[in-house]
Amino acid sequence: MSGRHALRLLARLGFTAGLLAAAMPALAAKGSKPEFGANVLIFDPSMSSQVIQKQIDAGYATQQHNEFGPQRKALLFLPGSYSVDVPVGFYTEVMGLGASPDATRIAGNMHADANLEHNNATTTFWRAAEGLSVAPTGGKMQWAVSQAVSLRRMHVRGDLVLHQNHGWASGGWMSDSVVDGNVDSGSQQQWISRNCDWKSWTGANWNMVFVGVVHPPAGAWPSPPYTKIAQTPVVREKPFLQVNAAGEFSVRVPELSSDSVGITWRGGETEGETIPIERFYIARPDVDTADTINVQLARGKHLILTPGIYELTAPIRLTRPRTVMLGLGFATLRPVKGTAAMTTADADGIEIAGLLFDAGPSESPVLLDVGREGSRAHHANDPSAFILAA
Per-residue confidence (pLDDT) for residue 267, from 0 to 100: 92
Burial class (CB in 10 A: 0-12, 13-18, 19+), 361: exposed
- DSSP letters spanning 168-206: -B---EEES-EEEEEEE-TTBSEEEEES-EEEEEE--SS
Domain count, the chain: 3
In a domain, 245, yes or no: no
Same domain, yes or no, for 7 and 136? no
Per-residue confidence (pLDDT) for residue 382, from 0 to 100: 81
Per-residue confidence (pLDDT) for residue 389, from 0 to 100: 58
* Domain assignment of residue 309, given as a range: 281-387
pLDDT in tens, 4-30: 333 333 333 333 333 333 333 333 333
**Spatial separation of the C-alpha atoms in residues 307 and 270, rounded to whole Å:** 25
Same domain, yes or no, for 332 and 358? yes
pTM of the model: 0.90
Same domain, yes or no, for 12 and 47? no
Is residue 176 over pLDDT 60?
yes
**Spatial separation of the C-alpha atoms in residues 332 and 237, rounded to whole Å:** 21
First to last CA, the chain: 40
Question: Which of 389, 352, 382, 390 is closest to 370 using CA atoms?
Answer: 352
pLDDT in tens, 345-354: 999 899 999 9
Per-residue confidence (pLDDT) for residue 378, from 0 to 100: 81
State the DSSP code for 376. Answer: -
pLDDT in tens, 179-230: 999 999 999 999 999 999 999 999 999 999 999 999 999 999 999 999 999 9
The pLDDT of 144-168, averaged and rounded, is 97
Strands (E) in 168-306, as ranges, are: 173-175, 178-184, 190-194, 197-202, 207-211, 226-229, 232-235, 240-243, 249-254, 257-260, 272-276, 280-283, 302-305
In a domain, 246, yes or no: no
Domain boundary among 235, 267, 291: 235
Same domain, yes or no, for 45 and 189? yes
Is residue 162 over pLDDT 50?
yes
pLDDT in tens, 35-88: 999 999 999 999 999 999 999 999 999 999 999 999 999 999 999 999 999 999
Per-residue confidence (pLDDT) for residue 15, from 0 to 100: 35
Q: Are 107 and 81 in contact (CB under 8 A)?
A: yes
In a domain, 247, yes or no: no
Same domain, yes or no, for 47 and 139? yes
Is residue 385 over pLDDT 90?
no
**Spatial separation of the C-alpha atoms in residues 108 and 84, rounded to whole Å:** 5
Of residues 20 and 178, more confidence is placed in: 178
Per-residue confidence (pLDDT) for residue 32, from 0 to 100: 64
